[in-house]
C-alpha cells in the first residue's frame, strides 16, 4: 500500500499569518524503519512516535544537512536516535533491555495507567542537533525527559529554551495483526515571535492562540489516520474559520546514510590489538545500527598505513 496522504508534511498559517503549523503523517517510512530491525513492539511504538516528533521539529528549522533527535536515559529504552535529512530521508534505531521493558509493562498494568514513551525512557535527556557539515554549524537543543507524554516533553523544550508558544500533539497507531501497519503522526502550532498585540479589531492574540490550541487538541487519531483525507482536508476541518493557508508539502522516505568507506574510517581508528579481538573467520564484520547492512573487511584494510 502506498497512500499519497501519508509520508508528507503540510505547512500552514492561520489567523492572518500570526500562527504557523505543521502536520506530518507517516506510514511507509515507519514500516520500513521497523522492518530493518527486530525490536519488541514497545520499542517499535517508541521509534514511530520519536520519528514523528523528529520530522515535526526538523520541519520547523531551515537547514541543509542532518537533523538528529536523540534520547539518552536510564530506563528500559536507554537510547533512541532518529536522523532526518534536509531532503526528507529518515532512519532510526534504539538501544533497549527487553527484560526491563517487560518489567515496566507489568508494573504499569497493575497501576492501570497508559504506557507512554517517557515511562520506558526513564530519566535522562532529549537532544536535537543540526549538522550542516561545517565545524561551527552545529545547533544543539536539549531538555530533560519529564512529563507524561513525549509531546509534553518537547513542549517543555520550547517553553524553556526557545520561549516560543508551541503546541504539539503526537499520534500513534499500532497494528493489531502481524500483517497490520504502523502509523504515526504529529501536529505542531507556533506563535510567530513577532506576532504581538491585537491582530484584529475584536480579539487579542492570546485569546486567538488559546482558541487555536483548543481546536488542534480536538484532533483525534481516527481522523489523522483516515487514509481518505488529505492533510489539507484535515486542516480545513480544524481551521476553516481561521483564515487557513496551506503553503507547501514535503515528502519523506526511508534511507540510510551508511557506506563502506565511512565504516572503514571508523574501524581504522581502532588499535591493531583490538582489531584482532574482532576477527572472526579471518574477517572483521560490522553491522549498521540503522539499516542492518553488513560490511566485512580484512584486517589489512583497517590498518592505517
Compute the least distance from the CB of residue 17 to Zn ion, in Å: 41
- Closer of 83 and 165 to Zn ion (Cβ): 83
> What span, in angstroms and rounded, lies between the C-alpha atoms of 263 and 251?
29
Compute the least distance from the CB of residue 140 to Zn ion, in Å: 24
- Closer of 58 and 256 to Zn ion (Cβ): 256
- Closer of 14 and 256 to Zn ion (Cβ): 256
Query: In the chain, which ranges are E strands?
Result: 8-14, 19-26, 66-73, 77-85, 89-96, 124-131, 139-144, 166-173, 183-191, 245-251, 253-254, 284-287, 294-297
Taking residues 216 to 255 in sequence order and writing x for each that binds Zn ion by CB under 5 A, - otherwise, the string is: ----------------------------------------
Compute the least distance from the CB of residue 87 to Zn ion, in Å: 16
Q: What's the grid cell of residue 172?
A: 500513534
- Closer of 229 and 291 to Zn ion (Cβ): 291
Compute the least distance from the CB of residue 255 to Zn ion, in Å: 9
Taking residues 158 to 187 in sequence order and writing x for each that binds Zn ion by CB under 5 A, - otherwise, the string is: ------------------------------
Taking residues 248 to 277 in sequence order and writing x for each that binds Zn ion by CB under 5 A, - otherwise, the string is: --------x-x-------------------
How many residues sit in the footprint of Zn ion (CB under 5 A)?
6
> What span, in angstroms and rounded, lies between the C-alpha atoms of 151 and 145?
11
CB atoms within 10 A of CB 259: 11
Compute the least distance from the CB of residue 37 to Zn ion, in Å: 11
- In the block, cell 489539507 appears at 232
Is residue 92 involved in binding Zn ion (CB under 5 A)? no
> What span, in angstroms and rounded, lies between the C-alpha atoms of 215 and 210?
9
Compute the least distance from the CB of residue 290 to Zn ion, in Å: 4
Q: How far is CA 91 from CA 35, 80, 242, in A?
A: 11, 11, 35
CA gyration radius, the chain: 21
Compute the least distance from the CB of residue 288 to Zn ion, in Å: 3
Taking residues 116 to 155 in sequence order and writing x for each that binds Zn ion by CB under 5 A, - otherwise, the string is: ----------------------------------------
Supply the DSSP symbol for 41. H
Q: What is the 3-state secondary structure (H, E, C) of 154-206?
A: HHHHHHHHHCCCEEEEEEEECCCCCCCCCEEEEEEEEECCCCCCECCCCCEHH
- Closer of 239 and 290 to Zn ion (Cβ): 290
Taking residues 273 to 302 in sequence order and writing x for each that binds Zn ion by CB under 5 A, - otherwise, the string is: ---------------x-xx-x---------
- Closer of 236 and 289 to Zn ion (Cβ): 289
Closest to 80 (Cα-Cα) out of 53, 61, 103: 53
Supply the DSSP symbol for 227. T
- Closer of 143 and 256 to Zn ion (Cβ): 256
- Closer of 24 and 288 to Zn ion (Cβ): 288
Compute the least distance from the CB of residue 260 to Zn ion, in Å: 11
Supply the DSSP symbol for 283. B
> What span, in angstroms and rounded, lies between the C-alpha atoms of 157 and 166?
10
Q: Catalog residues that contact Zn ion under the rule CB under 5 A.
A: 256, 258, 288, 290-291, 293
Amino acid at each position: 500500500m502506498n497512500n499519497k496522504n501519508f509520508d508528507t508534511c503540510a505547512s500552514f498559517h492561520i489567523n492572518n499569518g500570526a500562527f504557523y503549523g505543521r502536520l506530518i503523517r507517516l506510514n511507509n517510512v515507519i514500516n520500513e524503519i521497523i522492518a530493518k530491525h527486530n525490536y519488541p513492539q514497545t520499542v517499535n511504538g517508541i521509534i514511530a512516535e520519536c520519528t514523528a516528533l523528529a520530522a515535526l521539529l526538523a520541519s520547523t528549522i531551515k537547514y541543509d544537512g542532518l537533523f538528529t533527535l536523540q534520547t539518552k536515559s536510564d530506563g528500559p529504552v536507554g537510547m533512541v536516535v532518529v536522523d532526518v535529512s534536509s531532503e526528507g530521508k529518515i532512519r532510526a534505531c534504539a538501544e533497549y533491555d527487553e527484560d526491563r521493558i517487560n518489567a515496566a509493562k507489568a508494573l504499569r498494568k497493575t497501576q492501570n495507567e497508559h504506557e507512554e514513551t517517557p515511562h520506558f525512557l526513564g530519566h535522562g535527556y532529549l537532544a536535537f542537533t543540526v549538522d550542516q557539515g561545517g565545524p561551527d554549524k552545529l545547533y544543539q537543543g536539549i531538555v530533560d525527559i519529564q512529563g507524561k507524554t513525549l509531546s509534553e516533553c518537547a513542549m517543555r523544550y520550547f517553553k524553556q529554551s526557545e520561549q516560543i508558544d508551541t503546541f504539539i500533539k503526537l499520534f500513534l497507531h499500532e497494528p493489531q495483526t502481524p500483517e497490520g501497519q504502523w502509523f504515526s503522526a504529529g501536529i505542531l502550532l507556533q506563535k510567530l515571535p513577532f506576532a504581538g498585540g491585537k491582530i484584529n479589531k475584536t480579539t487579542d492574540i492570546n485569546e486567538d492562540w488559546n482558541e487555536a490550541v483548543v481546536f488542534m487538541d480536538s484532533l483525534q487519531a481516527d481522523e489523522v489516520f483516515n487514509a481518505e483525507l488529505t492533510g489539507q482536508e484535515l486542516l480545513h476541518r480544524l481551521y476553516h474559520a481561521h483564515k487557513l493557508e496551506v503553503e507547501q508539502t514535503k515528502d519523506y522516505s526511508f534511507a540510510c546514510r551508511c557506506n563502506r568507506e565511512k565504516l572503514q574510517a571508523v574501524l581504522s581508528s581502532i588499535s591493531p590489538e583490538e582489531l584482532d579481538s574482532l576477527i572472526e573467520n579471518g574477517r572483521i564484520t560490522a553491522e549498521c545500527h540503522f539499516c542492518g547492512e553488513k560490511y566485512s573487511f580484512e584486517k589489512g584494510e583497517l590498518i592505517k598505513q
